[in-house]
Amino acid sequence: MVDSLAIALGANLGDPRATLEAVRPLLAAELERWWPGPGRPRLRWSPLFRTEPVGGPAGQPDYLNAVVLADPLPPVDPDQALALLAALQGLEADFGRQRLEHWGARSLDLDLLWCGGLSLDRPELSLPHPRLRERAFVLVPLAALDPALIVPGDGVVPLASVRELLEGLPPEVLEPPPERLGGVAGWPE
């Protein structure tokens, strides 16, 4: 059973590093407010990675990406997951996110990757994230936290470790590989 939740963070407009450093404490506070269980979540933040844009319009600037894991997560129902999604979208809006173009450049992107073992397929939210297993810009930060971390399946796709998923990616998905950035005061990892 997966007893964590994972959120991917990304930005490629304005000053992405400043944006991710600024949203980090706000996201931590939002997760603590939302947390459905007793106590407080344990948050584990990946390092920042510079990655080339995947899909979308040509000519976008590179992204900065990271992930945060929160655990131990008690069972979560769909309404709780949708409430978390709304909170994430509220943070995106606070940082100027506009949804003008599919896979277009973003001032801030917060994607709920999984929420415990919850499997959900709704227009507004699919869990686990449907492209999680094919995105090096998500898998590499997860691997920096724990390459043996188990990524949930959806009932059709089996559970797999981050390491297994990275090893299964076609080589072109990893070229050029995400570049790990050094830590700074606002993002020490």
> Is 3 an annotated catalytic residue?
no
> Is 133 an annotated catalytic residue?
no
> Is 180 an annotated catalytic residue?
no
Token digits of residue 67: 């992930």
Residue 188 lies in a domain: no
Q: Which of 17, 24, 94, 97 is catalytic?
A: 97
CA dist 38 and 9 (Å) reads 26
**Which CATH number is 106's domain given?**
3.30.70.560
pLDDT, one tens digit per residue, over 119-155 is 999 999 999 998 899 899 999 999 999 999 999 887 7
In 23-77, which ranges are E strands? 42-45, 49-51, 63-71
pLDDT, one tens digit per residue, over 44-92 is 999 999 998 887 777 889 999 999 999 999 999 999 999 999 999 999 9
What is this structure's pTM? 0.94
Counting the structural domains of the chain, the total is: 1
Residue 187 lies in a domain: no
Residue 189 lies in a domain: no
Residue 112 lies in a domain: yes
Nearest to 146 by CA among 165, 130, 118: 165
> Is 111 an annotated catalytic residue?
yes
For residue 121, the enclosing domain spans: 5-180
